[in-house]
């Protein structure tokens, strides 16, 4: 019997509920595994007793990134960790978008402003977005018009004061009509896809909690969307073995899909929306634990 830890975080006011977690624990146990949900920063957990630790809903990691990546290194030295610790370290910093762009993967154009950098923001006619390079669920993200330049500067400086690198991106207008698509992969093959509506409403303060997945519906990806997603996965440094991945896509002004985010750490699988995917996820987790 393989032993599997589904890694999560402690409950808190800033942490969303993982609707998939109890369903996945139960399904794994019914399939013959010994599975349990374990909190990543609980010092009482003996990670070495598991055959596999699958990072699932460690949704507080983004404001504790250094602590979390250090945990991933320790856990990965004691058991098999999915995804691997080097992938976790690379993917917790959204400067990975520059790596994807260098590999000719179409991504949303991004400028990075590290603490100490001059705060230079777009002066063009379009809207833009400011968010931290380590973030999840639109935490500390906001959308600005050119007239809101001073507010955006204060936002960047707040991120710098908290030790974060700021990201500045054009607001992708097609999100308002076509939404954002999330293509899920498991065991290296497509699993399912979803589409959600726009997250950043005009005028919403960066420090207000956002609805991370508004209007989520099932989606059938087009061939060009699958192509961009597969190119992004192929560009991950070192070509690591990935148990799971989610590629979030938006359309550019030319109508072609671009990578908004590549989620390799703790992507929500949305199994509650795609219950038919549960057997495949269970099978591939058990295979990974026994390999």
pLDDT tens track for 31-89: 999 999 999 999 999 999 999 999 999 999 888 899 999 999 999 999 999 999 999 99
Beta strands 166-170 and 111-113, pairing class: antiparallel
Out of 20-29, 208-217, 235-244, which region has the weakest mean confidence (pLDDT)? Answer: 208-217
State both tokens at 135.
Answer: 């973030």
Backbone angles phi, psi at 58, to 5 degrees: -85, 65
pLDDT tens track for 92-136: 999 999 999 999 999 999 999 999 999 989 887 899 999 998 876
Rg value, the chain, Cα: 19
* Beta bridge pairs of residue 131: 167
Burial class from Cβ neighbours inside 10 Å (0-12, 13-18, 19+) for residue 63 reads: middle
**In the structure, what pLDDT confidence band is assigned to residue 212 with cuts at 50, 70 and 90?**
confident
pTM for the full predicted model: 0.94
Burial class from Cβ neighbours inside 10 Å (0-12, 13-18, 19+) for residue 136 reads: buried
Q: What burial letters (b/e) apply to 83-106, b meaning 16+ CB within 10 Å? A: bbbbbbbbbbebebbeebbeeebb
């Amino acid at each position: 019997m393989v032993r599997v830890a589904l890694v999560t975080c402690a409950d808190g006011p800033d942490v969303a509920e993982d609707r998939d977690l109890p369903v996945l624990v139960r399904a794994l146990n019914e399939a013959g595994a010994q599975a349990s949900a374990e909190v990543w920063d609980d010092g009482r957990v003996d990670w070495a007793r598991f055959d596999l630790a699958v990072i699932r809903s460690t949704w507080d990691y983004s404001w504790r990134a250094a602590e979390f990546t250090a945990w991933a290194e320790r856990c990965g030295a004691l058991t098999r960790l999915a995804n691997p610790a080097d992938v976790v370290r690379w993917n917790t910093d959204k400067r990975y978008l520059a790596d994807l762009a260098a590999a000719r993967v179409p991504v949303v154009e991004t400028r990075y402003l590290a603490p100490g950098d001059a705060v230079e923001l777009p002066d063009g006619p379009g809207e833009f977005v400011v968010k931290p390079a380590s973030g999840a669920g639109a935490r500390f993200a906001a959308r600005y018009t050119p007239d809101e330049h001073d507010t955006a500067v204060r936002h960047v400086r707040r991120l710098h004061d908290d030790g974060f690198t700021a990201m500045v991106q054009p607001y992708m207008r097609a999100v308002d009509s076509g939404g954002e698509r999330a293509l899920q992969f498991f065991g290296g093959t497509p699993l399912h896809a979803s589409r959600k509506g726009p997250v950043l409403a005009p005028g919403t303060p960066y420090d207000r909690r956002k609805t991370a997945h508004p209007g989520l519906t099932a989606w059938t990806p087009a061939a060009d969307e699958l192509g961009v997603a597969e190119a992004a996965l192929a560009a991950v440094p070192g070509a690591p073995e990935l148990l799971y991945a989610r590629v979030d896509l938006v359309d550019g002004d030319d109508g072609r899909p671009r990578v908004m985010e590549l989620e390799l750490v703790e992507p929500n699988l949305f199994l509650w929306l795609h219950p038919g995917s549960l057997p495949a996820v269970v099978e591939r987790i058990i295979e990974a634990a026994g390999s």
